[in-house]
Amino acid sequence: MLPALRTAAGAELLAIAARDGERARELAGRYDVPRVHADYAALLADPDVDAVYLPLPNSLHLPWTLRALAAGKHVLCEKPLALNATEAREMAEAARSAGRLLMEAVMYRFHPRMRELAASLAATEIRHLFASFGFPIRRLDSYRLRPELGGGALLDVGCYVADLARWLLGEPERVEAVVHRGVVDMSCSALLGFAGGAQASLYASFESPTYQELAVVCADRVERVQTPFTAWRDPDDPYRLMVEAFGAAVREGAPPPLPIESSIANMALLDRIRDAAGTPDAR
């Protein structure tokens, strides 16, 4: 995100804050960020900051988004937007009350390759969609393995595969799921049923080899995409495109390019998957 914020047209990377002041200074030096604030509250008090990117662990998205909105800042919040749909609705209402933009940073949606695929499938009958996102976590102290921080594969990478299924197929009528649990949910598989008979199979994992795949079985063809979520090293940087689209909406007073209602619906689907698997709420 820092390279994207630095190079995006219409954006100025002005300030940074971190729990570790030395780390903040090191990042500021690497990416030419002119201001380093002592803490998050100090950054929000900076009158020259119009919008913030919030990359904190999942459990901190709600409180710091609310604080940022109350401080008059627009917010680009790292995915998943919240721990559950209830939190997401609270955040959306706070944004409406503050008259500020709130958008979930679902960067893959801004990649031209994915947009072109979605457009090409819009008039096609999809029979089945398979989406996966998995990678191994080897550090046992990873924040992704801490339940109190909203860790777990369903929120961390399941949000991608769920969002992709909704983007291409709409909202499912039926949800079935199984989860393998460790200290958090380590792997999750879900089967979704849609009106008209389409189906989706989703897989999210912290205990697989690094693995991403999308396969869409249509009535007339099969579309396959490797690394559908993290193809940012090619000429089209979805992070930069996302920042530019978000910034343009802020300047023009337009709705966010990724509607907050879509993010709420995605959290609601993750809640349904969690319920179907019989696992506890992310709180």
Say what the pTM is: 0.96
252-268 exposure pattern, b = at least 16 Cβ within 10 A, e = fewer = eeeebbbebebbbbbbb
Q: Three-class SS of residue 164?
A: helix
In the predicted structure, residue 154 carries a pLDDT above the cut 80: yes
Joined tokens for residue 133: 């996102």
Confidence of residue 283 (pLDDT cuts 50, 70, 90): low
**What is the per-residue pLDDT across 74-84, written as a single tens digit (0 to 9) for each?**
999 999 999 99
Instruction: Choose, from 73, 79, 111, 144, the residue flagged as catalytic.
Output: 79
**Cβ within 8 Å of residue 90, ≥6 positions away:** 62, 66, 82
Q: Could you tell me the pLDDT band of residue 205, with boundaries at 50, 70 and 90?
A: very high
Domains and CATH numbers, the chain: 2-105+237-258 (3.40.50.720), 109-235+266-277 (3.30.360.10)
* Catalytic residue status for 73: no
Q: Sort strands 199-205 and 126-134 into parallel, antiparallel or unpaired.
A: parallel
Cβ-contact 79, 160 below 8 angstroms: yes
**pLDDT value for 280:** 72
